[in-house]
Amino acid sequence: MGRSEEALRVAEELLTDIELRRLAPTDVVLKAGRVARLVGHDELTAFLALEQSGYAGQKQVAAWVTLAGRWIDDKQEKYYSASLATIYAQCESSRLALQTMQGGVSFSGEWANVSSGRHYTAVNNSKSELARYSGICQQVTASVYQLVTTIYHELLFSSLQAGLFAETQRLVDGTLAEASGTALAKIERVSDRLRDADPESISQALTTCRRLIDSCANHVCPPQEGATLTVDGQPLKAGALAVLNRLQFFAQQTGASKSRRDRLRRSLSDIYSRCSAGTHADVDAGEARFVFLQTYITLGELLSLSQGKQLEHSSADARPDELDR
């Protein structure tokens, strides 16, 4: 199990512990520390460190004091600086004292009124202390819950995202390998070139992306000079240069919806245009990486529409297509 998977497991377990009140506040902080270490969460780590060691002598802690509900006065000039362990111990001590004092107590004799007054004062003081310290413990627990919930959702999304990317990569790699024996080798060269980030490497990477589209078109719909392809009732050229026409025809033959085919056509048209030799000087390494990723994903989706499907070419009068002018 990797760190992310372990962090997701511990975070989910901690949230359940808090919801079911299975852990004391001090144990919540300790368990949250494990989540923070696993994911490297600086905000949670800083907050937990203050709760464990106390706020005395620390600077710029106002935000954390607010998060923990530790302010003593409304002007936020004073706060409880003791560690959470100390506050929790005081909370339990006040709770025990209150339970003891609330037992059956009777007062009689000359000093009955005085004794009764002192007793109820002590009870009220214990109630106030219990409310004060319990409030801090509950606020710390609530803040930890909020932070860990955010981490949990981020981990859950990352896990889902990683799974989707891995599944997509297997699908795309499989379809590209089938489409061209050199397709994956081309991708490896693109990756190497983009790491260099110099203009010549970027130009070569974009050229490779264009050639990758060409090789896939040749695989799914080989060129036929002088022939035409009918796409949505329109005759399109099917020669070697009519790369995008042939990919359109392939997509139609798979039975894909027109809206999906139109989206793929627009994406491939934009990519093909961006990979043209005349635009290389305008593309930096960052954009080139995204052009490569778009090429990889778009071709993968297109080829996955129908793996290994045999295409039947239709014949009609030749008509130049806007994409291949």
User: Which of 70-74, 168-172, 196-200, 201-205: highest mean pLDDT?
Assistant: 70-74
> Are 195 and 88 in the same domain?
no
> Are 82 and 119 in the same domain?
yes
pLDDT value for 322 = 40
> Are 150 and 59 in the same domain?
yes
> Are 152 and 7 in the same domain?
yes
> Are 104 and 222 in the same domain?
no
Query: In this predicted structure, which of 44-48, 88-92, 111-115, 204-208 has the lowest mean pLDDT?
Result: 111-115
CA distances from 3 to 34, 42, 43, 62 (A): 11, 16, 18, 32
pLDDT value for 35 = 95
By the 8 A CB rule, do 140 and 25 touch?
A: yes
By the 8 A CB rule, do 288 and 206 touch?
A: yes
Query: Looking at the predicted structure, is the pLDDT value of residue 49 above 90?
Result: yes
Give Cα 293 to chain centroid, integer Å: 18
- Which run of H or E residues covers position 11? helix 3-19
Helices (H), 180-198: 183-196
Determine the residue type at 24: A
| Residue 318 CB contacts under 8 Å (≥ 6 apart), including other chains | 226, 228, 235, 237
Instruction: For residue 163, give the nearest of 299, 286, 8 by alpha carbon.
Output: 8
> Are 29 and 153 in the same domain?
yes
pLDDT value for 2 = 80
Confidence of residue 32 (pLDDT cuts 50, 70, 90): very high
Domain boundary residue among 161, 193, 224? 161
Cite the beta strand spans of 188-259 per DSSP E.
Answer: 228-231, 234-237
> Are 139 and 213 in the same domain?
no
Confidence of residue 286 (pLDDT cuts 50, 70, 90): confident
Average pLDDT rounded to a whole number, residues 289-308: 81
Paired tokens of 133: 């310290």
pLDDT value for 88 = 93
Examine residue 172 and state whether it is found in any structural domain, yes or no. no
By the 8 A CB rule, do 325 and 236 touch?
A: no
Q: Which domain covers residue 254, as residue numbers?
A: 183-324
CA distances from 167 to 51, 160, 162, 210 (A): 42, 11, 8, 25
> Are 152 and 10 in the same domain?
yes
Sign, CA torsion 186/189/194/200: negative
Examine residue 170 and state whether it is found in any structural domain, yes or no. no
How far is Cα 53 from Cα 84, in angstroms, rounded to an integer?
A: 8
Domain boundary residue among 102, 129, 161? 161
Total domains in the fold of the chain: 2
pLDDT value for 174 = 66
Percent of the chain surpassing pLDDT 90 = 42
Instruction: For residue 236, give the nearest of 211, 201, 261, 215 by alpha carbon.
Output: 261
Domain boundary residue among 161, 194, 214? 161
Examine residue 249 and state whether it is found in any structural domain, yes or no. yes
pLDDT digits (tens, 9 = 90+) for 223-249: 998 889 999 999 999 999 999 999 999
Query: Looking at the predicted structure, is the pLDDT value of residue 180 above 80?
Result: no
> Are 110 and 194 in the same domain?
no
Examine residue 272 and state whether it is found in any structural domain, yes or no. yes
How far is Cα 272 from Cα 151, in angstroms, rounded to an integer?
A: 40
Examine residue 88 and state whether it is found in any structural domain, yes or no. yes
> Are 25 and 99 in the same domain?
yes
By the 8 A CB rule, do 81 and 55 touch?
A: yes
pTM for the whole thing?
0.55
> Are 242 and 272 in the same domain?
yes
Sign, CA torsion 70/73/79/80: negative
Query: Looking at the predicted structure, is the pLDDT value of residue 42 above 50?
Result: yes
> Are 12 and 133 in the same domain?
yes
Instruction: For residue 229, give the nearest of 245, 214, 213 by alpha carbon.
Output: 245
Paired tokens of 154: 């981020």
CA distances from 69 to 59, 78, 144, 307 (A): 17, 12, 12, 60
